[in-house]
Amino acid sequence: MYGALQYGFQAYSCCLKRVSMIRKLRRVK
């Protein structure tokens, strides 16, 4: 159960990074 929780947190942080990158790209444009 702990492993699944850790995996979910990793995917969540990755998703946040992707969203922040998209926001930066939109600002540049």
Average pLDDT over the chain, rounded to an integer: 90
pLDDT, position 20 = 96
Average pLDDT over residues 5-24: 94
- Residue 18 banded pLDDT, cuts 50, 70, 90: very high
- Residue 1 banded pLDDT, cuts 50, 70, 90: low
Q: CB-side exposure of 27: number of CA atoms within 13 Å?
A: 6
- Residue 17 banded pLDDT, cuts 50, 70, 90: very high
Rounded Cα gap, residues 27 and 29, in angstroms = 5
Would you list the domain boundaries of the chain?
A: 1-29
Rounded Cα gap, residues 13 and 3, in angstroms = 15
What is the reported pTM?
0.55
